[in-house]
Amino acid sequence: MENPVILTLGGLTKRFGDVIANDAIDLTLHQGEVLALLGENGAGKTTLMNMLFGHYTPDAGYVEIIGEDGVAKRLPAGNAQAAIDARIGMVHQHFTLAENLSALDNILLGSESLWGIRRNRRAARAKIEGLMQDSGLIAPLDEKIGALSVGERQRIEILKALFHDARVLVLDEPTAVLTPQEADSLFLALRKMVANGLSVIFISHKLHEVLAFSDRIAVLRHGKKVGELTTADADKTQIASLMVGEETALPEREFCETGAPVFELTGVTVQRENARNSLNNVSLCVRSGEIVGVAGVSGNGQSALAQLISGLTRPDSGTVALAGDVVTAPTPKSMIKARVGRIPEDRHHDGVVGSMTVAENLVLERLGDDDVQRHGFLRKGAISDHADDLIKAYDVRGPGAQARAALLSGGNIQKLILARVLEKEPLVILANQPTRGLDFGAAGEVARRLMEARKRGAGVVLISEDLDEVLSLADRIVVMHDGELIEAGTRDRAAIGLLMAGQAA
């Protein structure tokens, strides 16, 4: 017998000016069910969840939850406290924890009266320890958040929701920064809680996790709910087709003959204030026609490696070589001149100048070329024509070449950056988190462009926290942990996950 409905979203609609972010969406959630919510970037997933949790006030529609007494209750619109009181918990993709406080204090934040004379920490600790034992979500309560791993922080976020007796738990990209082992451990704990009656809404871009963990799938497209599937009857092709409105196939990696080394690090050390910006005796060789995937949990030195390739930092020891020539003093200008193309991690902050036009952003790295400027004056007609050609070739959708780059969506900003980088046919390409936050279709386009560059003879350094992306695109995989690079020598997920966690496979 099917479990009863515990939550109903009825006709939820939200407009931002002329844009309809959610258009009369109906959704139900059963007790003890895991519902996966999928959709492209901008499909309306986050807006819908923000209305459920009371962060946004809908223009139409309602949220109704069935109480433990079996009575349906409509929640007041735009009231987050009402959602919490109705025992709805939400765990955001980006953690909302105070790093200078202990894990216990973070869990207790917001749960105590301002007028209380004393804190009953003993009872609170006993309750949390009981939750940890029941759920399997074990975390050190007396450690400060700043000293915890990302996996432990994720557990604290979920324990905080459970401490408030959540009956409905919303998880937004819960495994985005976890190793495969941490993700498996999280899902095992969640399954245990779901078996005891917890209901979960689960947002993810990782289709293999959706198929493995959910019971039912709802898909949004352009603000509308376009379909629901029972997970047992679904596959990746069906889901992708619903998400983008057409049959979508990810590009397949084909065999490619590799050539001479185009980028080499030999014994490179970069000593900075923390591990995130440091490298420890790193050696790496990337050949022409090869994609080398750098797997790892965020904060293990990937930023330092990207800055080194971009010319934003110099090694304290060791050598950097491009096409066999040692680079003595790398700078952004010298690396661009040496045909290094850079796709930065933060496309908004480092990839474009939002206040400049799309056309201007497309020539930012070519300002010294005669077809861009002459005698110090920009050739605006040539720049505009150049932009129109690239916009068409790379399908950059938006208000046009003369609009500010800030008006483009994340996926279209990434296409703009790809167009700027790849039109020069670089010898080496740094692709740093190239599909982070992109929907299925946009991610597929980025992957296709990188494979085309590889086939043309470029060497690609792919830095990604998404192990599926690394496995699907990389010819060879190295793992970064604590500022060191280790050759994986395998494509086994579990073995790579152990290396990401600093353990021998």
Residue with tokens 């324990």: 159
| Cα–Cα distance for residue pair 180/466, rounded to 1 Å | 10
Is 62 inside any structural domain?
yes
Is 345 inside any structural domain?
no
In this structure, are 371 and 329 located in the same domain? no
CATH number at residue 57: 3.40.50.300
> Nearest CA to 35 among 14, 64, 6?
6
Q: How many helices (H) and strands (E) does the chain have?
A: 16, 22
Residue with tokens 């995937």: 293
Overall number of domains in the chain: 3
> Nearest CA to 8 among 201, 190, 191, 233?
201
The predicted-structure confidence for 350-387, as pLDDT tens digits, reads as follows 899 999 999 999 988 887 777 788 877 888 888 899 99
Give the end of a domain, one of 423, 458, 480: 423
- For 143, list phi and psi in degrees, rounded to 5: -80, 145
Is 346 inside any structural domain?
no
In this structure, are 283 and 409 located in the same domain? no
In this structure, are 65 and 209 located in the same domain? yes
> Nearest CA to 223 among 46, 358, 366?
46
The predicted-structure confidence for 287-340, as pLDDT tens digits, reads as follows 999 999 999 877 788 989 999 999 999 999 999 999 999 998 889 999 999 999
Is 347 inside any structural domain?
no
Q: Can you read off the two tokens belonging to residue 68?
A: 């433990």
**CA distance to 154, 167, 205, per residue, from 92 (Å):** 10, 17, 14
What is the three-class DSSP state of 322? strand
Answer for the pair 220, 208: CB distance below 8 angstroms, yes or no.
no
The amino acid at residue 197 is: G
The gap between the terminal CA atoms of the chain, to the nearest Å, is 44
The predicted pLDDT at position 42 comes to 66
| Cα–Cα distance for residue pair 26/308, rounded to 1 Å | 49
Give the end of a domain, one of 408, 423, 438: 423
| Cα–Cα distance for residue pair 370/174, rounded to 1 Å | 49
In this structure, are 133 and 52 located in the same domain? yes
Is 344 inside any structural domain?
no
What is the three-class DSSP state of 251? coil
Task: Annotate 136-168 with DSSP letters as a single string.
Answer: -----TTSBGGGS-HHHHHHHHHHHHHHTT-SE
Does 271 have pLDDT greater than 60?
yes
In this structure, are 188 and 333 located in the same domain? no
The predicted-structure confidence for 149-198, as pLDDT tens digits, reads as follows 777 888 888 888 888 888 999 988 887 767 777 788 888 888 988 998 99
Is 295 inside any structural domain?
yes
In this structure, are 257 and 176 located in the same domain? no
Q: Average pLDDT of 10-21?
A: 88
**CA distance to 191, 265, 469, 487, per residue, from 259 (Å):** 48, 17, 24, 19
Q: Can you read off the two tokens belonging to residue 475?
A: 């010819």
In this structure, are 232 and 96 located in the same domain? yes
In this structure, are 440 and 386 located in the same domain? no
The predicted-structure confidence for 54-109, as pLDDT tens digits, reads as follows 999 999 999 999 987 888 899 999 998 899 889 998 887 667 788 889 999 999 88
Beta-carbon count within 10 A of 300 CB: 24
In this structure, are 313 and 255 located in the same domain? yes
Q: What is the average pLDDT score of the chain?
A: 87
- For 452, list phi and psi in degrees, rounded to 5: -65, -40
DSSP E strand stretches across 243-311: 261-270, 279-287, 290-295
Q: Name the residue range of residue 150's domain.
A: 5-244
156, 157, 158, 163 alpha-carbon torsion, rounded to 10°: 80
Give the end of a domain, one of 220, 244, 268: 244
In this structure, are 79 and 152 located in the same domain? yes
The predicted pLDDT at position 187 comes to 87
Is 177 inside any structural domain?
yes
Q: Give a three-class secondary structure readout of 387-409.
A: HHHHHHHCCCCCCCCCCEHHHCC
Is 370 inside any structural domain?
yes
Q: Can you read off the two tokens belonging to residue 190?
A: 């969640």
Q: What share of the chain is helix, strand, coil (3-state, %, to 5)?
A: 35, 25, 40
Q: Is the pTM of this model over 0.75?
A: no
In this structure, are 362 and 310 located in the same domain? no
| Cα–Cα distance for residue pair 176/203, rounded to 1 Å | 11
In this structure, are 213 and 184 located in the same domain? yes
